[in-house]
Each structure stands twice: as structure tokens, then as C-alpha cells.
């Protein structure tokens, strides 16, 4: 029983840490810190809230499956029954672990439609950051290493 509790705590910790991974526009990846970025001026046309679907790396399913199998196997004293129960609970645990991982890694974001100075329009989905963008805001699109983010233009 102690092993099962320890494993459950480990699962919860792993999923919590996965949920803490941030794609906030306010956090710059180490590899992008000293790269030259392309900057374009624009004006916000629309902003709408969206949800970025969570990831399914398989870790949640694997951990849930193992936890379920161990819990199911230890649920009966009869060998054959314990094996069947372990298999069934393991499959259910894998499905639950996958769903928990997907839900834990979902992220609130915004889709921003921008009109550039040259007349082009761009739509960018980015994590919600410290800045709140509204239609009419002067912004800059910053492109670094193929990734685009939007920030309010300096005054």
C-alpha cells in the first residue's frame, strides 16, 4: 500500500510539473536570447480568447497504466483474478492518465489579428501574458527563429 501511495504522489508531482511548463510570450527560450529578431509594426484588429489543447506525450498514460496495474493486481489474493484485475485496471489507469495529462497541459491563449503597415494581415496565437491587447493598439510582431510573438509598440 505504501508503494501505491508513493507512486500516486509521483504521478501527481509529474503532472503538476508538466502543467507548470509555460509558453508565455513573456518567457524567452535560452536559444533565442541572443538571436537577431525581425520586427514589424502593426495595429491590432481583433483579439479573441482561445484554448491551446494539451499535449499527449504518453507519460500520463504510462504512469496511469502502471499505477492501475499495480493497484489492480494487489486487489485480489487469487493469482488468475489478480492478473485479470491488474490488466483491466491498468487499461483504465492508462486512459485516465492520458486524460489527466492532456487536461493539465491545456493553456489559455489569445488569437490576435494584426494589420501590418504594408497592408498584410497576420493572425498569431500566443499564451496570455502580462500585456492586455485590445483593438486599435499599436503593436510589433517579433519573429525569432520562426516563432512569432506580439508586444505593444514602445511609445
pLDDT computed for residue 54 by the predictor: 66
Query: What stretch(es) of the chain map to CATH 2.40.50.590?
Result: 35-53+107-155
Indicate yes or no: pTM above 0.75.
no
Per DSSP, 149 falls in state E
User: Which one is predicted more confidently, 67 or 110?
Assistant: 110
> From start to end of the chain, where are the E strands?
38-52, 107-116, 121-127, 138-144, 147-152
Look at residue 140 and tell me whether its pLDDT is greater than 90.
yes
Look at residue 5 and tell me whether its pLDDT is greater than 50.
no
121-127 β-sheet, strand order:
121-127, 107-116, 38-52, 138-144, 147-152
Share of the chain above pLDDT 90, in %: 24
pLDDT computed for residue 29 by the predictor: 64
CA distance 66 to 19: 21
Q: Residues 43-90: pLDDT tens digits?
A: 999 999 888 776 667 776 677 777 766 776 676 667 777 777 777 777
Across all residues in the chain, what is the average pLDDT?
Answer: 75
Q: Residues 12-34: pLDDT tens digits?
A: 545 444 444 545 555 666 665 55
CA distances from 79 to 72, 85, 87 (A): 12, 10, 12
Per DSSP, 132 falls in state P
Helix (H, G, I), strand (E, B) or coil at 101: helix
The highest-level CATH class for domain 35-53+107-155 is mainly beta
CA distance 25 to 150: 8
DSSP 21-55: ----TT---GGGTT---EEEEEEEEEEEEEEEPPP
> From start to end of 53-120, where are the E strands?
107-116
- Which distant-in-sequence residues (6+ apart) come within 8 Å of 82 by Cβ? 72, 73, 74, 75, 76
User: Which one is predicted more confidently, 18 or 143?
Assistant: 143
Amino acid at each position: 500500500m505504501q508503494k501505491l501511495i508513493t507512486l500516486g504522489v509521483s504521478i501527481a508531482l509529474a503532472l503538476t510539473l508538466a502543467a507548470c511548463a509555460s509558453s508565455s510570450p513573456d518567457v524567452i527560450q535560452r536559444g533565442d536570447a541572443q538571436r537577431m529578431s525581425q520586427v514589424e509594426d502593426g495595429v491590432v484588429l481583433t483579439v479573441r480568447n482561445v484554448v491551446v489543447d494539451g499535449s499527449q506525450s504518453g507519460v500520463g498514460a504510462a504512469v496511469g497504466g502502471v499505477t492501475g496495474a499495480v493497484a489492480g493486481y494487489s486487489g485480489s489474493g487469487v493469482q488468475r483474478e489478480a492478473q485479470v484485475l491488474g490488466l483491466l485496471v491498468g487499461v483504465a489507469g492508462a486512459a485516465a492518465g492520458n486524460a489527466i495529462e492532456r487536461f493539465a497541459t491545456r493553456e489559455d491563449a489569445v488569437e490576435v489579428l494584426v494589420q501590418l503597415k504594408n497592408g498584410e494581415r497576420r493572425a498569431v496565437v500566443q499564451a496570455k501574458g502580462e500585456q492586455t491587447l485590445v483593438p486599435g493598439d499599436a503593436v510589433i510582431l517579433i519573429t525569432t527563429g520562426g516563432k512569432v510573438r506580439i508586444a505593444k509598440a514602445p511609445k
